[in-house]
Amino acid sequence: MTEHVKPQAFTADVAKLLHLMVHSIYSDKDVFLRELISNAADACEKLRYEALQNPDLSGGDALLIRVEADAEANSITITDNGIGMSDEDLVSALGTIARSGTKTFLDSLAPEGQDEAQKPNLDLIGQFGIGFYSAFMVAKNVVVETRRAGTDKAFRWTSDGQGTYEITPLALDDAPQHGTRVILHLSEEAKDFTNTYRLRSIIQHHSSAITVPVDLIEKGEEPDRISQGVALWARPKSDVSAEDYTEFYQSLSGQFDEPALTLHWRAEGRYEYNVLAFVPGSKPFDLFEPERKGKGKLYVRRVLINESADMLPGWLRFVRLVVDSADIPLNVSREMIQQSPIYTAIKKAVANRIVQDLIKCAENEPDKFKALWQNFGAVLKEGLYEDPEKRDDLFKLARFASTRSDEPVRSLADYVKDKQENQTAIYYLLGEDIKRLKASPQLEGFAARNIEVLLLPDAVDAFWVTNAVGFDGKPFKSVTQGAADLALIPLADGASAQPEAGADVAALLVYMKDHLQSDIADVRISDRLSTSAACLVAAENAQDRRLERILSSNGQMPAMSKPVLEINAGHALVQSFAAHLKAGTDTALVDDGIHLLLDQSRLLDGDTLADPAAFAARLSRMINKAMA
């Protein structure tokens, strides 16, 4: 028979638990000031709320947080004129680890079972009750002097963070009229925190958005207002000037230009958050860093949690962003925040909204968007490759240079609207710069039919066109890959058709295939050439040659595939080689000629010569014969 087992409570070494919390939860000692200012702001918000029912509680004082540094005493004092605490509050809030007074206060306002929508909208930051203990990262002893508003009793709480604390009565003359004073007696290692320059930097960095003004005081000096108590992104758009936005953007981005686009909104519904985002007016210096990280600042109820939050996909990394959430838990690690479904949902919604606002800009302010695309189009096009779900929206943004415009102003909708009769594809040409692309011989047959070709000079273009299905039912097709299939598209007025290849040219093709087989996959008559003698294209089942060059140069492809050499059957040079081959009088001339045609095509295609010395020797022989 089994004996009755009496349940036993777990025990814990409180000193070790404090040590673990202080040294494991927080990796940056600066956050102690953030946490204490956050607690002070919560206390002020509690007073503001309770004063709605009892105006006498506040005494008419303006809410304020004061941070005072005393280098001589090696101490920092954080004072607020908020709600204050009773002795019971001190026991429950500071004497019980991870029992947050803020959480208890919220629960008292909205008991279990009450609809979440009925809870009052308070800017209360702490929810887990551990932020206060971060003070022991820098303090060897902490003193809390407090008086709850509306009472005539004050108390002093003291602890060295080693597992015990004391609460003693405090004379009213020594206590705040209402509110709390936290005195940190710093350890020797933390004495540099009494430097007001450092304190100012910490407050500006972590707590500039707190909804209560913050003054910094050096002992014996006048107060210095560090934070005005109103975050720019929390203010109505109508109350913010263009100058305010520009000043904030410059401080956020570290740039001195003006923003090209300012986006400011508040999301309400399942999750509540404020967003302030800027598209820079010029390219940031780190735009193409390998990490491709965004520059988002994440706040939770006006407290900076992460200054480089991964809030945006890599293809929106140029956007400078502030997100302030009312729903994300505050006192958890960055890793836990990033795994939060709330965080994930906000990220997705913010990216969607930014893209939609960019689309509106493209449609309604084309001149402004043109400059924006010139700066960041190459980055946005990364999304065409990386984010298939966003591809349709990004296609609405994408602007291209083409054979009709040297500047990237042509949209895919423009292209499809202006396509030619019987044209079934969207044609493009990959390369390294617009000028060289426009000189490509592969464009000649398309120009003869007035077919627009998109000119794609960015490296990312070689990737997104390979996995994009198409646009408006039209597939993307490279003009340098496979057969051109232009026969069904009528020639433009004044353009002449290619002559049929005669028997002499057909014999030349056979000869060229045999003599060039080590360098090329095939030789064929071209319908994409009209004035040039020859060009190179990729075989039907091979990758585009621009993509192959990129992959090969990065070691992701062992060797480039052999190209196809296309020749213009009506070109005088091709006709001459065919005639010499038929006559059989100078096959050496033909050999040199067809190799020079291949090398010429390589150069026009952006390749290097396989054998520069042989090229120079052949060219010299041809010149000598021509001069003889």
Which CATH class for the 399-627 domain? mainly alpha
Q: 424-460: per-residue pLDDT in tens?
A: 999 999 998 899 999 999 999 999 999 999 999 999 9
User: Is the pLDDT reported for residue 2 higher than 70?
Assistant: no
Q: What pLDDT was estimated at residue 230? A: 83
Lowest mean pLDDT among 15-24, 260-269, 314-323, 613-622: 15-24
Cβ contact 4:175 at 8 Å: no
Q: What pLDDT was estimated at residue 574? A: 94
Write the DSSP assignment of 294-348 as a string of letters: -EEEEEETTEEEEEEE--S-GGGTT-EEEEEESSS-SSS-HHHHHT-HHHHHHHH
Q: How confident is the model at residue 18 (pLDDT cuts 50, 70, 90)?
A: low
| Residues 147, 553: Cα–Cα separation, whole Å | 71
Q: 200-247: per-residue pLDDT in tens?
A: 999 888 887 777 999 999 988 899 998 888 888 988 999 888 988 998
Domains 14-227 and 232-365 agree in fold? no
Q: What pLDDT was estimated at residue 549? A: 85
Tell me the average pLDDT across 534-555: 87
Lowest mean pLDDT among 34-48, 165-179, 260-274, 351-365: 34-48
Return the higher-pLDDT residue of 548 and 421: 421
Residue 410, beta-bridge partner list = 400
* CATH placement of domain 232-365: 3.30.230.80
Q: What pLDDT was estimated at residue 323? A: 95
Q: 169-207: per-residue pLDDT in tens?
A: 999 999 999 999 999 999 999 999 999 999 999 988 888
Half-sphere exposure of 108 (CA within 13 A, CB side): 9
- Mean pLDDT for the chain overall: 87
227, with CB counted inside 10 A (0-12, 13-18, 19+), is buried
Q: How confident is the model at residue 126 (pLDDT cuts 50, 70, 90)?
A: very low
Q: How confident is the model at residue 382 (pLDDT cuts 50, 70, 90)?
A: very high
Tell me the average pLDDT across 149-158: 94
- Domain topology for 14-227: Heat Shock Protein 90 (3.30.565)
Cβ neighbours for 286, distance < 8 A, ≥ 6 positions apart? none
Within 37-115, strands assigned E span 65-70, 75-80
Q: How many CB atoms within 10 Å of residue 262?
A: 18
Residue 387, CA distances (Å) to 7, 313, 463, 628 in order? 54, 9, 12, 62
| Residues 501, 499: Cα–Cα separation, whole Å | 6
Q: 293-330: per-residue pLDDT in tens?
A: 777 888 887 777 787 888 999 999 999 999 999 888 76
User: Is the pLDDT reported for residue 71 higher than 90?
Assistant: yes
- Domains of the chain, residue spans: 14-227, 232-365, 399-627
Percent of the chain topping pLDDT 90? 57
